Structure 1
Amino acid sequence: MRLSNRNKASLYNFINTLLLIITAAGFAAFFLEEYKFNIMGWESTLFIIIPLFLLLLFYFSGRQIFEYDSDGEALHFRNRNVIPFLGKPLSDEFPKYKLISFDVVSIFFIKRLYVRVTSKNSGSALLKYEVSYLTGKEINDLKISLNKVVKANNDKKTERR
């Protein structure tokens, strides 16, 4: 199964640009209000606080682009920002038999996918991906696909015993 929200990258770029413009306009409105008009008083700080809060909310909710591919004998996860310099992109590929478990954690507006795989060094490794920008249907499809892999791995382990 393949899952990707790469086609929404232009929408995320538009939202990012719009938030930057609104923030710049908020700073301009604050300085005009503070040094020229002086009508509002302390409420003029809202011209800075609200757009800055929305911009930080957009950035801290995680990497926008998530791609998942389970075709073949390997699982491939990619997670990146639409703004290249904002964070390091993640890309992991490993055989399906190494998948032990997974969990999707949702805290307010932030959703994360935690994947546990077997590792030679420490026994298991925890991989983290940000899936905040996936829709509910996409997250359910991802869970179904990963559940199939985990179930197949558990069935193989019980057959060996």
Structure 2
Amino acid sequence: MRLSNRNKSSVYNFVNTLLIIFIIAGIGAFLLEEYRFNILGWESIFLIVVPFILMGIFYLNGRQIFEYDSDGEALHFRNRNIIPFLDKPLSDEFPKYKLLNYEVIDLFFMKRLYVTISSKNSGSTMLKYEISYLTRKEINDLKFSLSKVIKANNEKRVINR
């Protein structure tokens, strides 16, 4: 199964550009308010604070582009930001039989996928992916696919014992 929200990157770029324009316009309006008009008073600080809060929420949600591929004998996870220099992109590929467990954490507007895989060195390793920008249907499809892989792994372990 393949899952990707790469086709929405133009929307995320637009939102990012819009937020930058809001910040610039807010700074300009604040400066005009403080040094020329002086109508709002102390509330003029909101012209700067609100756009920065919106930008912070946009980036605290994490990496915007998530790709998952379970075709073949390996699982591929890719997670990257629309602005390449902002965050290092994550790219992991491992055989399906190494998948032990997964968990989706859903906090207000942030969603994370934690994947536990078996490792020779430490026994198991946990990988973290940011899936805040996936739709509910995409998250359910991802859960279904990962559950199917785990179920197949458990059946193979029972047969091999």
Q: With structure 1 as the length reference, what TM-score do the two structures score?
A: 0.99
Q: How does 1:52-71 map to 2 (within 5 A)?
A: 52-71=52-71
Within the alignment, does 1:79 sit opposite 2:68 as a pair?
no
Q: How does 1:12-51 map to 2 (within 5 A)?
A: 12-51=12-51
Q: How does 1:68-147 map to 2 (within 5 A)?
A: 68-147=68-147
Amino acid at match of 2:76: H
Equivalent residue pairs, number: 161
Identity of aligned residues (%): 70
* RMSD of aligned residue pairs (Cα, Å): 0.5
CA distance in 2, matches of 1:13, 1:39: 34
Quote how far apart the aligned CAs of 1:92 are: 0.1
Quote how far apart the aligned CAs of 1:160 are: 1.6
Q: Structure 1: which 4+ aligned runs deviate by more than 3 Å?
A: none
Quote how far apart the aligned CAs of 1:159 are: 1.2
Paired position in structure 2 for 1:6:
6
Quote how far apart the aligned CAs of 1:103 are: 0.4
Give the gaps of 5 or more residues in structure 2.
none
CA distance in 1, matches of 2:148, 2:108: 28
Quote how far apart the aligned CAs of 1:34 are: 0.8
CA distance in 1, matches of 2:119, 2:36: 63
CA distance in 1, matches of 2:160, 2:93: 25
CA distance in 1, matches of 2:60, 2:118: 29
Give the gaps of 5 or more residues in structure 1.
none
